Amino acid sequence: MGKTFISLAVALALSCFSRAQVLTSGGRLKPEQAIMDIRHYTIALKVDIPDSSIDGYAVVDFVLSQASPVLLFDLLDSFHIHALSVDGSPASFDYAHSMITVRGAFSTGRHSVRVDYGGKPHIAIHPPWDDGFIWTRDSTGNPWVAITAEGTGGKLYFPCKDHPSDEPNEGVDMLITVPSGLVVAGPGLLQEVTPSGASVTYHWKTRYTINNYSIIFNVGKYKVVSRDYTTIDGHTVPMQFYVLEEHAAKAPHHLEILEKTVHEQEKYFGEYPWAREKIGIVETPHLGMEHQTMNAYGNKFRYTKVGGSDYDGLMHHEFGHEWWGNKITAKDWADYWIHEGICTFGDALYIREFEGEEAYDRYFARASHGFRNQQPIVLGHDIDEEAAYQPDIYGKGAFFMHTLRFVIGDSLFFPLLKGFATDPRYTYDNLVGTDDVEQYFSHGSGMQLKPLFDLYIRSVGLLQVSVRQVDAGHYAISTVGMPLTLPLEVGTDSGVQRIMVSSAEQIVASSSKPVIDPRVFYLTKVINAAPAAGG
């Protein structure tokens, strides 16, 4: 059982870990892009595998909220731009410092910019910890191409407004051309497969809003293994695994594991978010990434046991991002913990579901020893991905949800958690920040939770609990510097008691010194206060 936890912790530490790199996305939104609302991307590229290059065009559809003499798009400097047009007419532009600057007189309203370009995209050295294209081969020698872009953003290979605060609300069309015999996996639904000579073009289309690091494709000698999935709300969704042909025999059992993972997450977070399209996973040469409706899977079918059954912790975590990250999206990387922390909390809920409450408690008690707690989880506003990324957004972020659950109580907490993930104010087109989470849970619980958010998320503070011996059989317990009255478990010689603790001392009867928070619902610092004089 302990092994399960170790394996899970290792999987979590590995999964969608970020990168030490200069390529990053987000940060302060440029004024030229703040007036631009992205509506749709079309990406049409021919993939030249021997040359490790791409060539084709992208169309960006957007609405300007005010007239502007300039349009600004991000695209890494790896490419050559052959032509650029705005609303069908050629336009003058510069392409430098990973920015395309288009000059003209652009009116308020909707516009369409087409960029014809090509070149060798940046190559990932150690994906998914850094971003780029991965040009490799499977064990039978077939080409295998993948992309990771979470940190760098979509500008890695297509012109875009590269900021987490704006997603293409009308979705994406991808037309990817590869040598015949290879298969392209992408987001949304496959519209058409068009052969032409020695090539074949796959047209993938999603009508959902999508974060731009999920706008990627994979190429390989894939076989599609599928089954139907019935969602918690009764909708039938195709569940598809784009698996390397050489591993196709493993796919049916893997989809059984995935089905269990989806079911469990639906219970806590509501219906699978992309039910009108598909549940998709694709085998990748890198460990994994939360690509919307085509989750990258690279854990090589290494399972652990949870509740006696095969479990893929890495897949469960990446799949949890279909809710936390893809459906519920932080508009500023500063609030990254909403993706990683709540998703990791969801991984612990799988243990609760299949191994019970005590196993879940032990998971967090163990996890509580591993936090760095050297800088706050939220470092301010307008933070780029590289600056926002730190391991505590996973574990400590998840532990915060564990604390919140204890403070609010299950009868309120679980409906509120699902409520947040299904509320139109916080999902799909409406992106969120830490303040939204705080206000939502405060309102829903009837508690003013700001001090708790400040302690865990905006500082590196610990809950300070003072213990003072009153006499041989009594101790006085209080918190220091915490304005909220909180529930607290106290281990005494007559068992565990639950008290409400505040800055006013509560007297607990015990002949031995009480153990504060024995099941570890908080990150605490116990202060042993001196006994009162003569006490």
Interface with Zn ion (CB under 5 A): 16, 340
Strand order in the sheet with 486-492: 495-501, 486-492, 515-516
Query: For Zn ion, which is the closer residue by CB, 16 or 38?
Result: 16
Least distance (Å) between residue 12 CB and Zn ion: 8
| 198-205 contacts, C-beta under 8 A, 24 or more apart | 199/46, 201/175, 201/176, 201/177, 202/174, 202/175, 202/176, 202/177, 202/178, 203/173, 203/174, 203/175, 204/172, 204/173, 204/174, 204/176, 205/171, 205/172, 205/173, 205/174
Q: How far is CA 352 from CA 264, 295, 321, 362, 465, in A?
A: 10, 24, 19, 10, 28
Query: For Zn ion, which is the closer residue by CB, 211 or 479?
Result: 211
Query: For Zn ion, which is the closer residue by CB, 266 or 340?
Result: 340
Query: For Zn ion, which is the closer residue by CB, 326 or 466?
Result: 326
- Angle, CA of 515, 516 and 518, to the nearest 5°: 75
As a whole number of angstroms, the distance between CA 6 and CA 18 comes to: 21
As a whole number of angstroms, the distance between CA 315 and CA 361 comes to: 22
In three-state secondary structure terms, 392 is helix
Residue 396's closest CA among 20, 15, 5, 12?
A: 12
Residue type, 348: A
Query: For Zn ion, which is the closer residue by CB, 340 or 436?
Result: 340
Least distance (Å) between residue 478 CB and Zn ion: 38
DSSP E strand boundaries for 91-210: 92-96, 99-106, 109-119, 132-137, 143-148, 172-179, 183-185, 189-196, 199-206
Query: For Zn ion, which is the closer residue by CB, 204 or 333?
Result: 333
Query: For Zn ion, which is the closer residue by CB, 177 or 344?
Result: 344
Q: How far is CA 163 from the centre of its chain?
A: 15
As a whole number of angstroms, the distance between CA 153 and CA 101 comes to: 18
Least distance (Å) between residue 391 CB and Zn ion: 11
Least distance (Å) between residue 507 CB and Zn ion: 45
Nearest residue (beta carbon) to Zn ion: 16
Least distance (Å) between residue 367 CB and Zn ion: 15
Query: For Zn ion, which is the closer residue by CB, 188 or 325?
Result: 325
Phi, psi of 464 (to 5 degrees): -90, 125
Residue whose entry in the numeric block shows the structure tokens 């089905």:
259
Query: For Zn ion, which is the closer residue by CB, 321 or 331?
Result: 321
Instruction: Give me the residues paired with residue 513 across strands.
Output: none
Q: How far is CA 65 from CA 33, 35, 106, 209, in A?
A: 10, 5, 11, 19
Whether residue 289 contacts residue 318, with contact meaning beta carbons closer than 8 Å, is answered with yes
Least distance (Å) between residue 442 CB and Zn ion: 26
Least distance (Å) between residue 288 CB and Zn ion: 8
As a whole number of angstroms, the distance between CA 189 and CA 169 comes to: 16
Least distance (Å) between residue 213 CB and Zn ion: 12
Least distance (Å) between residue 287 CB and Zn ion: 11
> Could you tell me whether strands 288-289 and 295-297 are parallel, antiparallel, or unpaired per DSSP bridges?
antiparallel
Least distance (Å) between residue 392 CB and Zn ion: 13
Query: For Zn ion, which is the closer residue by CB, 106 or 272?
Result: 272
Burial of 102 (0-12, 13-18, 19+ CB in 10 A): buried
Query: For Zn ion, which is the closer residue by CB, 398 or 467?
Result: 398
Least distance (Å) between residue 324 CB and Zn ion: 8
